[in-house]
Amino acid sequence: MLSKTIEAALNKQIRIEAESSQIYLAMAVWAEVKGLEGVSMFMYDQSNEERDHMLKLVKFVNERGGHALISDLSAPNVTFNSFKEMFEKLLEHEVMVSASINELVHTSLQEKDYATHNFLQWYVSEQIEEEATARTILDKINMIGDDKGGLYLFDRDIQQLTVITSAGSNGQ
């Protein structure tokens, strides 16, 4: 059985994951309109992945005797000055999500809820991957600079991006 504190914290994370999905979706649409097909495909995939993260939390809350809440969401930013700025915002967002997950882990330990603590370890590893992927992409974008040919190749290659992290698995 979840404590009210844990249930509220998990419901907060459900909202964050849902908003993450919307952020990636907005980025996918922006990239698609700009003709960045590879970037848009990557972002659509990430949007779906974030929704899956949300659903995993929803199921966990409900299975542990809580009630998952589906709340209103903050509207994501839908325009960017450049695809570099878009990925900078993405990294900033993933760092915020990591901090939120870390706070949730801390709360689960304070509440001595070891089942939730164990469940959250997957999210801890996932955030290592998410941040590493965003940093790798930004490194590549910085390497490209203003080179249009480099952007073309990056847009094509991002579809195959795999990042091996210290957590030991591949980010998608």
Return d(Cα 94, Cα 157) in angstroms, integer. Answer: 22
Return d(Cα 128, Cα 60) in angstroms, integer. Answer: 21
Check whether 127 is labelled as a binding-site residue. Answer: yes
DSSP string, 40-75: HHHHHHHHHHHHHHHHHHHHHHHHTT--------PP
Contacts 24+ apart (CB under 8 A), 88-91: 88/138, 90/23, 90/24, 90/27, 90/134, 90/137, 91/131, 91/134, 91/135, 91/138
Check whether 103 is labelled as a binding-site residue. Answer: no
Q: What share of the chain is helix, strand, coil (3-state, %, to 5)?
A: 75, 0, 25
Check whether 126 is labelled as a binding-site residue. Answer: no
Return d(Cα 158, Cα 43) in angstroms, integer. Answer: 10
**Are the CB atoms for 38 and 151 separated by under 8 Å?**
no
Check whether 53 is labelled as a binding-site residue. Answer: yes
Check whether 131 is labelled as a binding-site residue. Answer: no
Q: Give the annotated binding-site residues.
A: 17, 50, 53, 94, 127
Q: Give the annotated binding-site residues for Fe cation.
A: 17, 50, 53, 94, 127
